[in-house]
Amino acid sequence: MNNIDKRNRLGDEPFNYRVTKDNTVFLDYNGRQVKILNGTEAEKFLKRIRAADNITEAQLIMAKITGNFKRGNEQKGN
């Protein structure tokens, strides 16, 4: 895991998710909504996130699903 998150960005827990009654998942990055999952995509996500061993692994799952967070150009919100 150290090789994946070299700058320890996931340690700050920038990702969060919310689930609605109809199993729609809203993924947030630093408090801003960045992705919406529904249907089988949401079911797969919830299965993976519940199987995560720790917070860092859950953060990595959310980072991979949101995509485009591997180049180091993401910025902190004001």
Q: What is the pLDDT of residue 2?
A: 55
Q: How far apart are CA 45 and CA 18, in angstroms?
A: 12
Tell me the average pLDDT of the chain: 83
Q: How confident is the model at residue 5 (pLDDT cuts 50, 70, 90)?
A: low
Model confidence pLDDT, tens digit, residues 20-38: 999 999 999 989 999 999 9
- Give this prediction's pTM: 0.76
Q: Which residues contact 51 (CB under 8 A, 6 or more apart)?
A: none
Mean pLDDT value of segment 15-23? 94
